[in-house]
Copies of this chain bind each other. A is one copy, B any other.
């Protein structure tokens, strides 16, 4: 189109050390995977968003798959989340757990959860990551600290309620839960979740 020379946007060759192409690709990949899922996101779009060439994906991550696993490292610190949930009365752990998830998901309108659902349903790799993350990093530690028995079953049950809430509220967007205040959601769901944590099954 623009035949006029003179403004080449990206000169070739090694860039100054301060510009970190790898980090830019990771940021762009998180955004694109979040918005379009694994299949929908294209290597070219990610590279363009990062302001670099698509070949850099291969150079730094070996391909689209490598970029995906590198980018989907959970940004929030699970240990901090678990600590917040466990700090206080164990009989109110469910309420704190719910408020924590609601806050995290609400920050970006559930976009991250939508992307996660897409990736999990489309990619066995993502399903395995989700499996390990849920049981190992979040519900596992919480259940270990507050539950009397059947730790694995309780952790999985908590997963059903929390993930289901996320799907209905943020992905399906079914009213009135989609627009409900945090207090309303907590009042309705926390008692059930508390039974999974410490109640009799």
Binding site for B on A (CB under 8 A): 37, 39-40, 114-115, 117-118, 120-122, 127, 130-131, 134-135, 152-153, 156-157, 159-165, 167-169, 171-177, 180, 187-189, 191-192, 195-196, 201
Contacts and interface: CB of A to CB of B under 8 A. Distances in A.
A39 B121 CA distance: 12
Identify which of A169, A172, A175 gathers the most chain B CB atoms within 10 Å of its CB.
Answer: A172
Contacts of A187: 201
A173 B131 contact: yes
Given A118-B118, A118-B121, A121-B121, A159 B172 contact: yes
Contact of A153 (B115, B135, B177): B177
Contacts of A167: 117, 120, 160, 163-164, 167
B174 A156 contact: yes
B161 A192 contact: yes
A168 B174 contact: no
A135 B201 CA distance: 28
A117 B115 CA distance: 11
A201 B172 contact: no
A121 B189 contact: no
A37 B120 CA distance: 12
Query: 9 nearest interchain CB pairs?
Result: A164-B164, A160-B164, A118-B121, A117-B121, A156-B177, A192-B192, A160-B165, A160-B168, A159-B168
A156 B188 CA distance: 11
B131 A172 contact: yes
A177 to B, nearest CB: 4
A169 to B, nearest CB: 8
Contacts of A192: 161, 192, 195-196
A157 to B, nearest CB: 6
